[in-house]
């Protein structure tokens, strides 16, 4: 049972990680939750159906609304709302949604002494040449490879410059996958995309490597199951002295081939993989190796075992993708 009291605001609460957070809060007996998101024409509203919450507000109305809550503030703000497309090129849009919105919400939280936990991203680390250390004292050394990563980096550096990391917590999520991501279209995890591709053709396409030091399929990622990401997030949210930036990952780097083989195994099929050229538009923005150092997280007392990649993939495919369930549906 997480010791949260009062009202909890979850932005992006209809989205992938956001809805998983609400579902976990429900499991721990918390229903005094306000959700904010932009539902639009996508089907992420389906993520809300199994959840228990008190109110819903479209994101473009949120900032005006919270100004009236200074006398009755939230006890906790979990800010997951953002444009998460790594291929988005509209810089003004990303700055407005991922930087300016977060900045206003953080200032509100600081003014009302509300616990504020927000989603940063491992994309802020760029190609990793400056390391992937969440205890790096000079964030300005980092060089994000795409505008999405930079929009997240902008707020991280602002928070550091303003001294806000003495109070607030930023979460650098690595490659999170799992239930409730169907609405993400091209930003869905490979597990989700591969499941549908293999179901249709019994084959899977992977990007070939365009660097001589990496064989095809041997590019590496730190893959983290969303259920573990949620447990890490709520653990840190419950610890008010756990402030600053934290890497949230498995702490291990697996190859795309490792992931592909786990997907085929979960579907009880023989691996059949074709390598295709990576689109030129993303070749110079592609991360070839990511691995989270999670020592800082562990030093806060986080001791739960992280789900091994094959087990996580099997759970996702067999308990959610095949029966077409959302988080929370399994409790019905």
The per-residue pLDDT for 281 is 87
Q: What is the DSSP string of 126-186?
A: TTSTT---TT-S-GGG---SSHHHHHHHHHHHHHHHHTGGGT-EEEEE-EEE-TT-GGGGG
The per-residue pLDDT for 331 is 66
Is 122 a domain residue?
yes
Q: What CATH number is given to the structural domain containing 22? A: 3.40.50.720
Instruction: Count how many Cα atoms sit within 13 Å of the Cα of residue 69 in the half-sphere of its side chain.
Output: 21
Q: Point out the catalytic residue in the list 74, 118, 125, 148.
A: 148
Is 184 a domain residue?
no
Q: Give CA–CA dist 117/165, Å, rounded.
A: 10
Q: How many domains does the chain have?
A: 1
Q: Is residue 293 a contact partner of residue 132, using CB atoms and an 8 Å limit?
A: yes
Is 273 a domain residue?
no
Nearest CA among 1, 46, 47 for reference residue 20: 47
Biggest CA–CA distance in the chain, Å, is 60
Each residue's pLDDT, cut to its tens digit, for the chain (332 residues) gives: 678 889 999 999 999 999 999 999 999 999 999 999 999 999 999 999 999 999 999 999 998 888 765 556 899 999 999 998 988 999 999 999 999 999 999 999 999 999 999 999 999 999 888 889 999 889 999 999 999 999 999 999 999 999 999 999 999 999 999 999 999 999 999 999 999 999 999 999 999 999 999 999 999 999 999 999 999 999 999 999 999 999 999 999 999 999 999 999 999 999 999 999 999 989 988 999 999 999 999 999 999 999 999 999 999 999 999 999 999 987 65
Is 186 a domain residue?
no
Q: What single-letter DSSP state applies at residue 289?
A: B
Is 322 a domain residue?
no
Cβ-Cβ contacts under 8 Å for 24 (sequence gap 6 or more):
230, 231, 234
Beta pairing class for 244-248 and 8-11: unpaired
The per-residue pLDDT for 129 is 87
H or E segment and range at residue 34: strand 33-37
> How many CB atoms lie under 10 A from the CB of residue 44?
23
Is 199 a domain residue?
no
Instruction: Write down the number of H helices and E strands in the chain.
Output: 11, 13
Is 211 a domain residue?
no
The per-residue pLDDT for 71 is 59
The per-residue pLDDT for 22 is 98
Is 296 an annotated catalytic residue? no
- Domain hosting residue 103, numbered range: 8-178+223-251+291-306+327-331
Q: Point out the catalytic residue in the list 184, 252, 296, 314.
A: 184
Q: Give CA–CA dist 305/126, Å, rounded.
A: 28
Is 272 a domain residue?
no
Q: Give CA–CA dist 195/264, Å, rounded.
A: 8
Is 285 an annotated catalytic residue? no
């Amino acid at each position: 049972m997480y010791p949260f009291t009062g009202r909890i605001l979850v932005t992006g609460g209809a989205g992938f990680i956001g809805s998983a957070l609400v579902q976990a809060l429900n499991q721990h007996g918390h229903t005094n939750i306000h959700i904010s998101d932009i539902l639009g024409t996508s089907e992420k509203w389906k993520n809300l159906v199994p959840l228990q919450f008190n109110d819903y507000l479209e994101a473009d109305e949120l900032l005006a609304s919270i100004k009236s809550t200074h006398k009755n503030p939230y006890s906790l703000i979990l800010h997951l709302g953002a444009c998460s497309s790594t291929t988005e090129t509209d810089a003004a849009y990303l700055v407005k949604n991922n930087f300016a919105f977060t900045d206003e919400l953080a200032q509100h939280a600081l003014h009302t002494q509300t616990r504020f936990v927000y989603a940063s991203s491992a994309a802020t680390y760029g190609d990793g040449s400056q390391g992937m250390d969440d205890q790096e004292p000079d964030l300005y050394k980092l060089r994000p490879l795409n505008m999405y990563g930079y929009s997240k980096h902008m707020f991280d550096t602002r928070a550091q410059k303003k001294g806000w990391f003495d109070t607030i917590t930023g979460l650098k999520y690595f490659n999170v996958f799992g239930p409730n991501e169907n609405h993400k279209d091209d930003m869905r995890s490979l597990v989700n995309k591969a499941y549908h591709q293999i179901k249709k053709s019994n084959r899977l396409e992977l990007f070939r490597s365009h660097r001589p030091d990496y064989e095809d399929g041997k590019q590496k990622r730190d893959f983290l199951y969303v259920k573990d990401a949620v447990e890490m997030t709520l653990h840190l949210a419950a610890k008010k002295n756990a402030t600053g930036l934290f890497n949230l990952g498995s702490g291990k780097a697996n190859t795309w081939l490792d992931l592909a083989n786990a997907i085929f195994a979960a579907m009880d099929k023989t691996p059949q993989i074709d390598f295709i050229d990576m689109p030129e538009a993303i070749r110079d923005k592609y991360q070839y190796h990511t691995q989270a150092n999670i020592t800082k997280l562990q030093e806060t007392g986080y001791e739960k075992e992280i789900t091994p990649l094959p087990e996580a993939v099997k759970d996702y495919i067999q308990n959610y993708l095949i029966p077409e369930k959302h988080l929370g549906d399994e409790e019905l």
